[in-house]
Structure 1
């Protein structure tokens, strides 16, 4: 067993230990790891470490917004190519767990924002906290230390955003959970788009967790700013959590290894997603180049608190808040906005049965259920992620979602 495998195995043991009774103490464990992160902060602030590697990011203009609890989120704006199409509302595209905004624009062949912009839509691709250019903790200074040198870079570029955004060595940005996305990120991003476009409402399109938080925000707050909602591969129930638990435990091991400064995130993310590959992709329906890109530029490491909330979902079979005081799944009748509930017909993380539950429970009178598969007339039985980045997504899935957003389905 090599060093990286040993670290991964140790991390998995820690993850296993966090399930059950110890899951309730997840935030305490997160605090312990953050204390360790403060020592890393001191180690990394040496002059020889003040170097940075700039990574390319999405096309489109970037806009920051500050949440009510002090995080900065970044959205990428794609303006319509030939003027705003009549009868459309701005569209927010939100990524899922372990991804960032790059998911939506990873390649021109599978760029949903470019597809919509070419057809007259205003599109905003967002990064949730802990991902992309938004506020997030990093273990090493060359992984985007804007806390240290970001101000210098902004002055040198006439106060434009640093290429690596709002990443920081401050360990307080290592902690968040699903409730923070629901309570703070969603309203901040909706406000950002509405304030810049003057639109009374936006359409929220979420993949996986990106759909979960839109759905749960509407179930809890009935936010009038979201006029239409599309969820692709989202879930608030989990009838069979075995595969999901395996994946979540590996992500926990990754986060623990990252905080300890012992693991390269890219390597373990590839290991994790490859080891249970079929849960994310129908391999015959995705370009290998897109898959490789998604396991590098398109990923970010979730927090321990967020992953433990997912583990509770896998264990309890329904999505609860972090304090386990109420069930988001039970609140779905509060959702009244028009909604498209969808997934790939071969999705193993959020399978059709899970989508059927969402469809039946939401209170919306305007609701549609769709599985992207051969039985429904599509060219392939899509998996969890390739429903949106697959070989036939641009030709079949994008037009279907667009037509639904127009109210034509």
Structure 2
């Protein structure tokens, strides 16, 4: 196989047009984790009429949340924030986590964790995009995608050489579920979960994909009585205090899954000199009170939230005009 990268084996598995957009799907095999079977699908969106040799725009990597895949960012009909950014000239890359969408399930899929995504997968994706685009990419993550990005930054697995800026939508790690802080309850939950291999997104009506049980067990550890946002002796939460890349965090005022207070707590932990927190609701002058999904996927979001993302990316790319502030 002729690789599309000098970093590790990469295959261009498809190159198609989706209306006015081009869609190139790459399969990355970084072989940088204990599970050598891991392969990651990364889709590059661009304009169909874009000359092959012409320079691309500012690179942006989009990370989906739990129970989801690349279709969160653009539909088969070419609708979504990813498609919108591509039409504006951004160089859009959409990553799919292990076993999601076009990414095949690895041998140890059942035991996949955010720790694996953050330590191994995101750095490989970031390095590949930086190699292909010739620029340090910006990142936008929704829900678990944003949490994984925070873990990669707090763990020191990625820094300014791979992250030009980070935007987190509906992402948090500190929402308190008090029963889980009672050790017998946590032990029982762990015992029951270990009997499963996956949690079905379709059965729970949360999304089209399954999540490996390793993600759920990891979440239990974070929320336990002596738990912390990290793995082993690594404290990602404390590590966020060393992060200096520009940070945007947004929370929907009607989001019951990842509420404003918890999202703000994660935001406040970053030490970035350039950072911004935005609540998404009517009080802030928006058309609706946004929930967990419609903050990025809805007709209202096209008018209210997408311009926020575009403005943030443009400001970061230009390197000026960003005020460090917190919007109540």
Could you tell me the TM-score, scaled by structure 1's length? 0.62
In structure 2, distance between residues paired with 1:315 and 1:208: 20
| Deviations, residues 352-400 of structure 1 (Å, cap 9, x unaligned) | 1112212222010100000111111111111111111123111221111
Q: 2:23 aligns with which of 48, 56, 60?
A: 60
- Partner SS, residue 229 of structure 1: strand
Deviation of 1:320 after TM superposition, in Å, equals 2.8
Q: Are positions 1:383 and 2:315 aligned together?
A: no
Deviation of 1:110 after TM superposition, in Å, equals 4.6
Equivalence for 2:209: 300
Contact 2:63 2:140 survives alignment (8 Å): yes
Equivalence for 1:12: none
Equivalence for 1:226: 163
Equivalence for 2:223: 314
Contact 1:75 1:126 survives alignment (8 Å): yes
Q: Which runs of 5+ in 1 are unaligned?
A: 1-57, 138-170, 259-264, 275-294
| Deviations, residues 312-341 of structure 1 (Å, cap 9, x unaligned) | 233349653343x23322221121100101
In structure 1, distance between residues paired with 2:119 and 2:193: 27
The correspondence of residues 256-335 of structure 1 with structure 2, limited to 5 A, is 256=196, 269-273=201-205, 295=207, 299-316=208-225, 319-323=228-232, 325-335=233-243
Distance 1:76 1:316, change over 3 A: farther
In structure 2, distance between residues paired with 1:233 and 1:356: 10
In structure 1, distance between residues paired with 2:80 and 2:195: 29
Equivalence for 2:144: 209
Distance 1:377 1:78, change over 3 A: same
In structure 1, distance between residues paired with 2:225 and 2:78: 39
Pick the structure with greater CA Rg. 1
Deviation of 1:113 after TM superposition, in Å, equals 1.1
Equivalence for 1:364: 272
In structure 2, distance between residues paired with 1:192 and 1:403: 25
- Partner SS, residue 230 of structure 2: coil
Q: Are positions 1:345 and 2:282 aligned together?
A: no
Contact 2:253 2:280 survives alignment (8 Å): yes
In structure 1, distance between residues paired with 2:84 and 2:226: 36
- Partner SS, residue 392 of structure 1: helix
Q: Are positions 1:117 and 2:86 aligned together?
A: yes
Deviation of 1:81 after TM superposition, in Å, equals 5.9
Tell me the C-alpha RMSD between the 2 structures: 3.2
Q: Which runs of 5+ in 2 are unaligned?
A: 1-17, 316-320, 323-328
Deviation of 1:254 after TM superposition, in Å, equals 11
Equivalence for 1:92: 61
In structure 2, distance between residues paired with 1:255 and 1:101: 29
Distance 1:74 1:178, change over 3 A: same
Equivalence for 2:112: 176
Kindly indicate which of the two structures has a greater share of residues assigned to strand: 2
In structure 2, distance between residues paired with 1:334 and 1:400: 26
Deviation of 1:237 after TM superposition, in Å, equals 1.5
Contact 2:42 2:94 survives alignment (8 Å): yes
Higher RCO (CA 8 Å, separation ≥ 6 residues): 1
Equivalence for 1:73: 40
Deviation of 1:107 after TM superposition, in Å, equals 5.8
Report the number of matched residues.
282
Distance 1:316 1:110, change over 3 A: farther
Deviation of 1:130 after TM superposition, in Å, equals 2.2
Deviation of 1:172 after TM superposition, in Å, equals 3.2
Q: Are positions 1:336 and 2:265 aligned together?
A: no
Kindly indicate which of the two structures has a greater share of residues assigned to helix: 1
